[in-house]
């Protein structure tokens, strides 16, 4: 079990986080009764760039791919998947 870190948020940030947590969950979107489900791939196919998964590390808030041959475009959107340290 990991030890919790010291909370370093400002009082304003703590208050905002508590306000957000206290809000009721959003209702499901209103869809027409004849709407059919579509896979995520259909949504991603409409994007100009296809998603790409690469191994990398985060250093000082910057994502650095482990493979030097991988070049990400500027302002690329990335999803960071972190493993729990053991």
| Residues 23-60 pLDDT 10s | 998 888 888 889 888 887 777 666 666 667 778 887 78
CA–CA separation, 4 vs 81, rounded Å?
20
pTM value > 0.85: no
Q: What is the pLDDT of residue 22?
A: 92
- Residues pairing with 57 in the sheet: 64
Asked if 78 and 63 touch (Cβ cutoff 8 Å), the reply is yes
Say yes or no to pLDDT of 75 above 70: yes
- Which position has the higher pLDDT, 20 or 41? 20
For residue 12, the SS3 value is helix
The domain segmentation of the chain, as residue ranges, is 50-86
Residue 18: pLDDT band with limits 50, 70, 90: very high
């Amino acid at each position: 079990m990991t030890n919790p870190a010291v909370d370093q948020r400002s009082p304003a940030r703590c208050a905002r986080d508590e306000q957000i947590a206290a809000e009721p969950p959003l209702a499901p979107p209103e869809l027409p009764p004849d709407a059919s489900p579509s896979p995520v791939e259909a949504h991603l196919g409409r994007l100009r760039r296809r998603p790409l998964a690469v191994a990398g590390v985060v250093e000082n808030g910057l994502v650095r791919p482990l493979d030097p041959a991988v070049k990400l475009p500027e302002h690329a959107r990335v999803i960071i998947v972190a493993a729990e340290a053991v």
